[in-house]
Amino acid sequence: MSLKLKPAIFLLSLIGVGLIVLSAFSDCNGWLQSFAPTACFSDKNANVLFVRRLNRSIKPFLSAKTKLSEDDFNWWKRIQIEHRDFAFYKNTVSKLFEIFPPVPDLGKACSERCRTCAVVGNSVNLKGSRYGRLIDYQDVIIRMNFAPTKGFEEDVGTKTTYRVMYPESASDLDNSTHLVLFPFKIQDLDWLMKAFTTGFSGRSYAPLKSKINANKDLVKVINPAFMKYSHMVWLEGKGTYPSTGFMTLILALHICDEIHVFGYGADSDGNWSHYFEALENKNLKTGPHPGQHEYEIIKQLADEKTVELHQGS
């Protein structure tokens, strides 16, 4: 072999090894590698609220193998007065997983490093916060509903890994963003299927997108049992049901190692005002959700160092 070729071959070998290492590192950047925490938060054993209420046997995401109990279904169907029965629900879920991945992709576990998550709410306290760079620095950025980033980059960042929504708050996504649906009724599951296929034509209390642009292979659906657990265990049954924002935080407790919380909390009048719009209903407060109690739980988690709460401006 020519002596001149040897350095080139050696260099190519180094590049190959580097690509393999980079690929392994990239696999660690996902947030769904494992429901078991790494050593990052081994000190959580000292955190009273976290230890007493976290139940890892409750799976956050629906799969084709999920066995929802009828008791959990009956709790869930009361949220938005679902009249159809348990058998109809099960038949709908069966159809759902003919279109979307039957098992949520949890990726590869990576015990060498912490998975950091930014859970970004929509509170007006984000305005002027200049949190954008800190939010984008995290491995995973979870945003909610149709909250925009364009025009607010300095305060809320630019990246989105997971977009949590329900049909009335849906927005189009790019091909790399995961759609995480919180279903509040059977129609929401039907909407998800039709929004990706034939188009949805039903009605609700707010306008609905007939079709949605998103990657169907990255769709995940929250388990109704997880929603009940968020309400009955974490909120001790207070309020009609938890807000999407609160349930998203509980989701993060199950799947992230290090959690940074942004954009939570009411304005000075006790209303849930958004950073991207002027509040018209000054008597909204926190709607059917126990907003003050939710925030107290979040603050306790922050006081116990389970999450880091960035309270904004």
Q: Which residues are annotated as a binding site for substrate?
A: 80, 122, 145, 205, 241, 245, 265, 274, 289
Give CA–CA dist 212/167, Å, rounded: 10
Among 131, 229, 241, 295, which one carries the catalytic annotation?
241
Q: What are phi and psi of 124, to 5 degrees?
A: -60, -15
> Which residue, among 184, 189, 187, 186, has the nearest Cα to 202 in the 3D structure?
187
- Binding-site residues from annotation: 80, 122, 145, 205, 241, 245, 265, 274, 289
Q: Amino acid identity of 10?
A: F
- Which SS3 state, helix, strand or coil, does residue 138 take? coil
DSSP state of 172: -
Residue 289 a catalytic site member = yes
DSSP bridge pairs for 221: 181
Among 275, 289, 295, 310, which one carries the catalytic annotation?
289
Residue 254 a catalytic site member = no
Both structure tokens of 47: 């955190």
Residue 17 CA to chain centroid, in angstroms? Answer: 34
86-99 and 70-77 helices cross at what angle (nearest 10)? 90
* Residue 310 CA neighbour count, 13 Å, CB half: 25
- Which SS3 state, helix, strand or coil, does residue 194 take? helix
Residue given tokens 């939010």 in the structure block:
135
Give CA–CA dist 87/139, Å, rounded: 40
Taking the C-alpha atoms of 295, 260, 215 and 95 in order, what is their torsion angle to the nearest 10 degrees? -40
Please give the full DSSP string across 244-292, using - where no structure is assigned: HHHHHHHHHHHH-SEEEEES-S--TTS---BTTS--S-TT-TTTTS-HH
Active centre residues (catalytic): 241, 289
